[in-house]
Amino acid sequence: MLVIPAIDLKEGQCVMLFQGDPAKSTTFSHDPIQMAKKWAGLGAPLLHLVDLDGAFSGMPKNFGLVKKIMQAIEIPVQLGGGIRSMKAIENILDQGVERIILGTVAISDPDLTKEALKRYGDRILIGIDATDGLVAVEGWGRTSKKTYLELGREVQSWGANRIIFTDTKRDGTLKGPNIESSVQMAKETGLQIIASGGVSSIADLLALKKHEGLGIEGVIVGKAIYQGNIDLGEAFRLLG
């Protein structure tokens, strides 16, 4: 099971939000490039980058910084946040991002999402973020009427192979991931799941790994590695 460190970018800083609320932001580094080097140096197979400014504005805002991060490390990155047009998708993938995450457009523009999956296959991840079971969009500023399972089944039928699944009420709380919903998503859709939100300890990682055979392919870790709750090097050694 992949353990993927997250770097959330806001106004050029490396931050973490509490339940996605921009008013509840903690800055963990003023130098995201050095942070990326740190996680890569510990053995990270992949970096998860989020353009928070992009997520809230509806268009990428930190791509210049993303390019500098990519130049500084030798591992692939996946990027989400405000990617809502084919032009943005093409530009970002052409410039070296390995995978991009489409979230809001899976609800607001299904045709665009289908076309992106058709053109780029596994380089497209769908981000499904759930608040009380409903899909959250636009930087989690509102919820749609669709449940996370309904959207999961839809994107699977469109050709998606994997998603990032986040319980927004767990994100940034260190209260543990929503394993039950993550496993349910995997079972009911056949998708590979990268779990996200709430991871607090090595024990959480091991609990998720028990369900690897059901489709839990990876886990994104954020606040827990910045606060020292998880030793990332140890996590890589234990989970491979």
Question: Of these residues, 8, 51, 53, 204, which one is catalytic?
Answer: 8
**For residues 208 and 202, what is the distance between their CA atoms, to the nearest angstrom?**
10
C-beta separation of 43 from 79 below 8 A: no
Rg of the Cα trace of the chain? 16
Can you list the alpha helix ranges (DSSP code H) found in 121-210? 148-157, 179-189, 202-209
**For residues 107 and 237, what is the distance between their CA atoms, to the nearest angstrom?**
38
Question: Of these residues, 51, 53, 129, 171, which one is catalytic?
Answer: 129
The helix or strand, by DSSP H or E, that contains position 136, with its residue range, turns out to be: strand 134-137
Q: Catalytic annotation on 51? A: no
Q: In the structure encoding, which two tokens stand for residue 1, read together?
A: 């099971």
C-beta separation of 13 from 27 below 8 A: yes
Q: Return the C-alpha torsion angle 34, 91, 89, 46, nearest 10.
A: -30
The CA angle 49-182-15, to the nearest 5 degrees, is 25
Q: Catalytic annotation on 231? A: no
**For residues 192 and 52, what is the distance between their CA atoms, to the nearest angstrom?**
25
C-beta separation of 16 from 30 below 8 A: no
Catalytic residue numbers, as ranges? 8, 129
